[in-house]
Amino acid sequence: MWAVICVGTLAIIGITHWFYRWRNPCCNGSLPPGSMGLPLLGETLQFFSPNTSNDIPPFVKQRMKRYGPIFRTNLVGRPVVVSTDPDLNYFIFQQEGQLFQSWYPDTFIEIFGRQNVGSLHGFMYKYLKNMALHLFGPESLKKMLCEVEQTACRKLHEWSCQDSVELKEATASMIFDLTAKKLISYDSTKSSENLRDNFVAFIQGLISFPLDIPGTAYHKCLQGRKRAMKMLKNLLQERRAMPRKQEIDFFDHVIEELEKEGTILTEAIALDLMFVLLFASFETTSLALTLAIKFLSDHPLVLKKLQEEHEAILKRREDPNLGVTWKEYKSMTFTFQVINETVRLANIVPGIFRKALREINFKGYTIPAGWAVMVCPPAVHLNAARYQDPLAFNPWRWEGVELNGATKNFMAFGGGMRFCVGTDFTKVQMAIFLHCLVTKFRWQPIKGGNILRTPGLQFPNGFHVRTTEKEQTKQEPE
């Protein structure tokens, strides 16, 4: 009897000690305030809890109010310091590769691949980034401009022949088809398998609770990745077996790198790179574009100003039938203000993760070596001290502001050496689509448009619009 009591007492003491250590991690200095939540789960459930707010996510806002701009938590079993402090955010990005390195939870790595560009560091990361610039760099985008415009106008015309279209799905399909053509010469009308269907399954579980059980969104996500990777691998093997004489798409460039003597590129890294580029190039852009059109629908003065800018571009042309030139694209000042304001409010990426490489002291707090750090862009973009009436859609707030990268107060495309390589591609897609839309078409919202964050941005009921072509009047010579 006494033995049972002793064993039970020791078990209770052990569990209590373990629970205490979980809630109070060891640290040489002073940890940021906060709660580590339940053992193993941490505060994961609260973090993924859906909300319909355009404001700072409730999970973050409640803890900012209670603990301040820097606090600790635990997500999917990992201790995390959350930063809503502009100075700490800037410090983290500037110290990339020195004090911090890119990091994602194991669940993200399972989804994107262990050799994905976000998980690689140092020379290998720079090497892959330079490869991506082969597709997304300014010189490539200049050549792509005409095709982007033709695709946008063609799709808008197709939509005008329908009673309504769900804008998020329609723009995602449009951008995916264009990007897949440039990446791998993929044509959905000629393929026996629909590559994008696999990415749709992937997206639905990307930012969901990581429970890999049949029927869950996360399980479907992993299955979608598996199918997409199989298609890419088959394509790679076909290309290597029957190489083309000249480079036609980005896959040709990748294969050329694979065949070089002494190359550091492996097949696994190449396939993960293609997978990430296919996903990143269309999903976030279609979300931003859908939200931009919703904002324009709700703000007629902004739409009027945007129309005036693009109609002025047409009037200045000697031949109105010519496509958008690079000079005209770069002149779309108000359009870029609309894009900046859209992505500021969209906050498509709810958190940017890094890992502390060694113990770091900042503003009296200690971040232990090995801990994850989450920079929270929504808290920066919706900071009332920096943005007057931060929840209002006001493109004029960007008037005269030059943005050539991330700043302490704007990080919609990341920051530091990992500033998104596809930023210019996103802006080209959005600006050219808006140009075609406001100069040649009208649209009317039909239903949907409500947002949900889990914590990523979603349109649970879509955003359905009806588009009609404008009557094109012949311009009189001045």
Enumerate the H helices of 299-390 as residue ranges.
300-316, 326-330, 333-346, 377-381
Task: For residue 431, give the amino acid letter.
Answer: A
Once rounded to an integer, what is the mean pLDDT over residues 464-472? 88
Tokens 């596809």 found at: 422
Q: What would the pLDDT profile of 7-45 be if each residue is shown by its tens digit? A: 565 556 555 544 555 566 767 778 999 988 888 788 888
Q: What is the pLDDT of residues 405-449, one digit of tens each?
A: 667 888 888 776 667 778 888 999 999 999 999 999 999 999 999
Phi, psi for residue 92 in degrees, rounded to 5: -60, -45
| Share of residues in the chain with pLDDT > 70 (%) | 82
77 domain residue, yes or no: yes
Split at pLDDT 50, 70, 90, the class of 174 is very high
Number of domains forming the structure of the chain? 1
Query: What is the pTM assigned to this prediction?
Result: 0.88
| pLDDT band with cut points at 50, 70 and 90 for residue 166 | very high
- Of 222, 132, 219, 204, which Cα lies nearest the Cα of 168? 204
For tokens 């994850």, what's the residue?
372
- The CATH number linked to 189 is 1.10.630.10
**Three-class secondary structure of residue 469 per DSSP:** strand
Find, among 66, 167, 64, 32, the residue nearest to 385 by Cα: 64
Residue 297, both tokens: 């629908």
Closest CA to 467 of 168, 203, 163, 183: 163
**DSSP reduced 3-state for 13:** helix
- Average pLDDT rounded to a whole number, residues 133-140: 81
Q: How far apart are CA 411 and CA 409, in angstroms?
A: 7
The whole-number pLDDT of residue 32 equals 93
What is the token pair recorded at 373? Answer: 């750090």
In a domain, 35, yes or no: no
Report the share of the chain in percent with pLDDT over 90: 42
The token pair at 19 is 């629970």
Report which DSSP code applies to 309: H
Domain membership of residue 235 (yes or no) is yes
Q: Give a yes or no: residue 1 inside a domain.
A: no
**SS3 of residue 356 by DSSP:** strand
Beta strand pairing call for 78-83 and 372-375? parallel
Closest CA to 376 of 25, 81, 40: 81
Residue 366's CB: how many other CB atoms inside 10 A? Answer: 18
443 membership: H or E segment, kind and range: strand 441-448
Please indicate, yes or no, if residue 204 is contained in any of the structural domains. Answer: yes
Q: What is the mean pLDDT of residues 75-103?
A: 89
Q: What is the DSSP letter of 96?
A: B
Confidence at residue 477, expressed as pLDDT on a 0 to 100 scale: 42
Range of the structural domain that residue 189 is part of: 56-455
Where does the pLDDT of residue 204 fall: very low under 50, low under 70, confident under 90, or very high at 90 and above?
A: low
pLDDT at 209 over 70: no
| Residue 290, in any domain of the structure | yes
In degrees, rounded to 5, the angle at the alpha carbon of residue 96 between the alpha carbons of residues 94 and 100 is 115
Q: Given pLDDT bands bounded at 50, 70 and 90, which one contains residue 4? A: low
Confidence band (pLDDT; 50, 70, 90) for 476?
Answer: very low
Q: Which amino acid is at 302?
A: V
pLDDT for 106 equals 67
First CA to last CA distance, the chain? 105
Q: What is the pLDDT of residues 341-357, one digit of tens each?
A: 999 999 988 888 899 99
Please name the residues in contact with 180: beta carbons below 8 A apart, sequence gap of 6 or more. Answer: 186, 188, 195, 196, 278
Q: Are 183 and 249 in contact (CB under 8 A)?
A: yes
Q: Which of 8, 159, 52, 1 is nearest to 452 (CA)?
A: 52
48 occurs within a structural domain: no
- Please indicate, yes or no, if residue 18 is contained in any of the structural domains: no
